Amino acid sequence: MGALLGILHRMGAHHYCPLVPAPPPRFVTERGCTLHGIMGEFDTAQAVYAAAEKVRDAGYRRWDVHTPFPIHGMEDAMGVKPTRLPILIALGAFTGVGGAYLMQWWMGAVDYPMVVQGKPYAAWEPWVPIMFELGVLCSAFSALLGMLGLNGLPRHHHPLFTSERFLRSSQDRFFVVIEAEDQNFNPQRVRSLLESSGATHVELVEDDSVEVTP
Amino acid sequence: MSHAAAHEGPVSLAEGNVRLRAGGGAIGTVLIAAGVVAAVATFAVGIGQGNFKHALAAYHIGAMSSLAVCLGAMFWVMAFHLVMSGWSVSIRRQFENAMVLVPVIGVLAVAGIAADVFFMHGQLLTWMNGAVRQGDSLYEEKAAWLNPVRWGLFALLYLFIWVYLSQRLWWYSTEQDRTGAPRLSNKARFTSAWGMPIFGLSLTFAAFDWLMSVDYRWFSTMWGVYYFAGAALSGMAAMILVLAAVRRSGRLSGAVTNEHLHDMSKLVFGFVVFWAYIGFGQYFLIWYSNIPEETSFMLARKTEGWNALSTFLVWGHFAVPWYILLWKFVRRSWALMTIVCAWVMVLEVADMYWIIRPMVYGGTGVHLDMWWLDLLGIVGVPLILAGLLVRKAHAGPLMPLKDPRLPEALHHRNYV
């Protein structure tokens, strides 16, 4: 059970599945709040791009960059791997196509065979449109739900919104946030990495959504 | 963004990168000669054995497959202009090379069947055959369309449309090489705008006249789209092969990259699906309504020997390439896409074979004892097309060097 919970925590399941209890906090601030992560603020797109490359090379996994506009090439600077969503969509598609085939074969050729226009009971031709449509439907559902599952949306709140400075990420500032859940997270090292990358301001971000027991 | 651009070195537009070695086109002359020999030998053997019909069918399969490549390339050139696509500028010249060969390939495609219509009393195009059509009310209903005068005039009209459009677009592109005037891009776009519907109609009716009328009793309103789907697919596949060969000789380095291949492969993937979609649509409606004059075509190809080829087309032309092209690493690999595109080209020929060849001996029998005549006839025009493409590629710069959208193509990336 503990091992399964560990895997679920590593996948971040506790963020979007209410059935998974959150892991005990690894770091707690002086006020007694759970530490969400450490945020570095940058003045220019160039600076945050260079910082992202440094954080990537330092081997962090649970971190993100927040910018007011898309920066081309940022996914390379961050070392973001291609999404696994296509695999989920393919599974959905093959389920839809295969399910439609089996359903129509069972209904038309096994359970209730009926002569229509003298065609064979198990003629595959009329099944194709339904196989196609169910394939499209199931891949669309698995694309949407898989996307929501993988990115953890929708959510009502995010710890970053507790930071006043972070609001400027939609105006004119660029942010790198390294989360405390990262296996390599060490507050001193993260702070010095961000500062040496050219951050103009570094601050702790608390997770105020977790109840603190004094 | 400036940082992304800073990662890419400048692309060399020096002669050594955008022009093939002078004199390298000799292999093209060899291919053309081989193609002419194959075509002449096909007819010589066919007539010598008293089997002009089989020889013409074999030649016609190769000719219509080659014409599909030229018309497909023409479609893509017009589509690129119409949507003002920037990424495709560095690959467009190869498409233009194939497009501008339409006068030669078009005449070769129509010459064989025109000889049949006007001099051989309709051995393959049986609506000209008095012995077959005698007293057939199906023919008499269609006689206003299927007669040599209308057929010949329309063949000239189709050729005129294609030659005019291709020469005009070719002139804009090569004139821009010389002057660099950006307004020529707008003119090419304008020509494509009125040219596209005319192109679509002429291709549709040419497919009726040159392919569907082989069996004059049969008809399908989807026929033009079916030929177009194969044309757009094999046009794109052929150009991937050409660009792969050009890149192997060390040219277009940095100008045509995996990013361009990725987009071309997506279009191949799309048209593999499109071909299957409309091909099945055509079959499905005929199968469902079950009307004798419509089912004759499918009946001949879905029973006994030809059923094997029909099944092979479903798997080879659709299912297998579809599954392989689902994988991004395939779509971005020149080596793997060369194999896939060569396969797609072979299957396009098999598709033409599936359309034309069963009509030679009628009935459902396959008659493969003259397989070598099939092979000889089929390679004729494709070899000529390949030779002409090689010579064309050597004749000028490998991309439109002064196109105003060239920088966009040189920095093209798929953000996936």
Are residues A70 and A164 both part of a single domain?
A: yes
Q: What pLDDT score does A50 carry? A: 96
Cα distance between the two ends of chain B: 16
A99 and A131 belong to one structural domain: yes
* Segment A118-134 mean pLDDT: 93
With cut-offs at 50, 70 and 90, classify the pLDDT of residue A212.
low
Question: How close is the nearest chain B Cα to the Cα of A143, in Å?
Answer: 16
**Arithmetic mean of pLDDT, B262-284:** 97
B416 CB near a chain A CB, below 8 Å? yes
- Please write the tens of the pLDDT for every residue from A23-57: 788 888 888 888 999 999 999 999 999 999 999 99
- Give yes or no: residues A75 and A106 share one domain: no
Q: Write the CB contacts of B336 (distance below 8 Å, at least 6 apart in sequence).
A: B329, B330
With beta carbons less than 8 A apart as the criterion, state whether A61 and A182 touch: yes
Q: What mean pLDDT comes out for the span B227-233? A: 97
- Please check whether residues A89 and A147 belong to one and the same domain: yes
- The beta strand positions in B210-328, using DSSP E, are none
Average pLDDT estimate for B120-135: 87
In a domain, A182, yes or no: yes
- Say which of B1, B284, B288 has its CB closest to residue A45: B1
- Domain range list for chain B: 21-410
Q: Do A128 and B326 touch (CB under 8 A)?
A: no
CB A58 within 8 A of CB A52: no
Kindly state whether B134 is in contact with chain A, defined as any CB-CB distance less than 8 angstroms: no
Q: Amino acid letter at B122?
A: G
For chain A, what is the mean pLDDT? 90
Residue A168 counted as domain residue: yes
CB B325 within 8 Å of CB B340: yes
Q: Which pLDDT score, from 0 to 100, does residue A214 have? A: 52
d(C-alpha B88, C-alpha B263), whole Å: 9
Residue A213 lies in a domain: no
Tell me: the pLDDT tens digits for B49-92?
Answer: 889 999 999 999 999 999 999 999 999 999 999 999 999 999 99
**Residue A196 belongs to a domain with what CATH number?**
3.30.70
Say whether A49 and B283 touch across the interface (CB within 8 A). Answer: no
Q: Is the pLDDT of residue B414 over 90?
A: no
* B289 at A interface, C-beta within 8 A: no
Name the more confident of B193 and B2: B193
Whose CA is closest to A177, among A57, A71, A40? A40
- Cβ(A127)–Cβ(A172) below 8 Å: no
Strands A201-207 and A63-66: what pairing?
unpaired
Closest approach of chain A CAs to the CA of B308, in angstroms?
A: 17
Which of the residues A72, A74, A87 would you substitute to probe the B interface, choosing the one with the greatest number of B C-beta atoms within 10 Å? Answer: A72
**CB nearest to B1's CB, from A71, A125, A128:** A71
The beta-carbon neighbor of A72 closest among B4, B284, B288 is B4
The pLDDT score that the predictor gives to residue A166 is 95
For B267, residues 6+ apart whose C-beta sits below 8 A from its C-beta are B76, B236
Q: Under an 8 A CB cutoff, do B290 and A117 touch?
A: yes
Q: A42, A44, A49, A132: best mutation site toward chain B, by most B Cβ within 10 Å? A: A49
**Cβ-Cβ contacts under 8 Å, B289 against chain A:** none
| Contact predicate B32/B388, CB 8 Å | yes
* Alpha-carbon gap, residue B82 to B78, rounded angstroms: 6
A138 shares a domain with A39: no
Pairing mode, if any, of strands A174-179 and A201-207?
A: unpaired
**Integer angstrom CA distances of residue B206 from A4, A26, B117, B252, B277:** 65, 73, 15, 36, 22
More confident position, A150 or B364? A150
Residues of B in Cβ contact (< 8 Å) with A53: none
For A128, which of B280, B290, B326 is closest by C-beta distance?
B280
The residues that bridge with B132 in the sheet, in sequence order, are: none
Give the single-character DSSP code of B43: H
pLDDT above 60: residue B35: yes
- Structural contact between residues B57 and B359, judged by C-beta atoms closer than 8 angstroms: yes
The values of phi and psi at residue A64, to 5°, are: -155, 165
- The first and second tokens of residue B209, run together, are 């006249």
Whether A143 and A92 have beta carbons less than 8 Å apart is answered as yes
Contacts A–B by Cβ distance under 8 A: 32
| Nearest CA-CA distance, residue B280 and chain A, Å | 9
Q: For residue B415, which residues of chain A lie inside 8 Å, CB to CB?
A: 72, 75
Q: Is A10 among the domain residues?
A: no
Q: Which among A73, A90, A128 has CB closest to B4?
A: A73
Residue A135 and residue A184 in one domain:
no
Highest-confidence segment of A52-56, B6-10, B358-362: A52-56
- B310-345 per-position pLDDT tens digit: 999 999 999 999 999 999 999 999 999 999 999 999
Claim to verify: residue A69 and residue A97 sit in the same structural domain = no
B346, B344, B350, B349: which is closest to B322 by C-alpha? B344
Percent of all residues in chain A with a pLDDT value above 90, rounded to a whole number: 66
Same domain for A132 and A186?
no
| Contact criterion met (CB < 8 Å) for A49 and B3 | yes
| Residue A89 counted as domain residue | yes
A212 within domain boundaries: no
Task: Determine contact: B288 vs chain A, CB below 8 A.
Answer: yes
Strands (DSSP E) along B83-222, which ranges? Answer: none
Q: Is residue A14 part of a domain?
A: no
Among B275, B265, B258, residue whose Cα is nearest residue B240:
B265
Predicted local confidence at residue B134, as pLDDT: 85
Contact partners, residue B410, CB within 8 Å, separation at least 6: B11, B90, B254, B255
- Do residue A126 and residue A31 come from a single domain? no
In the block, tokens 């060097």 appear at B401
Both A93 and A196 in one domain: the answer is: no
**pLDDT for position B4:** 41
- A148-159 tens-digit pLDDT: 988 888 888 889
What pLDDT score does B7 carry?
A: 42
Residues on chain B touching A77 (C-beta within 8 angstroms): 3
The answer to whether residue A186 sits within a structural domain is yes
Q: Dihedral (C-alpha) B218, B221, B227, B230: value to the nearest 10 degrees? A: -120
**What is the per-residue pLDDT across A72-115, written as a single tens digit (0 to 9) for each?**
889 999 999 888 899 999 999 999 999 999 999 999 999 999 99
Q: Tell whether A174 and A133 lie within a shared domain.
A: no
3-class DSSP state of B295: helix
Give me the pLDDT at residue B136, please.
87
What pLDDT was estimated at residue A210?
61
Nearest to B246 by CA among B174, B338, B165: B338
With left for phi above 0 and alpha for psi between -120 and 50, is residue A148 left, alpha or beta? alpha
- DSSP annotation of B213: G
Residues of chain B with Cβ-Cβ distance to A128 below 8 Å are: 280, 284
Measured between beta carbons, which residues in chain A are less than 8 angstroms from residue B284? Answer: 125, 128-129
Query: How many domains are there within chain A?
Result: 2
Residue A94 belongs to what domain range? 85-151
- Alpha-carbon distance B178 to B403, whole Å? 10
Contact status, residue A206 vs residue A31, Cβ threshold 8 Å = yes
Q: Do A72 and B415 touch (CB under 8 A)?
A: yes
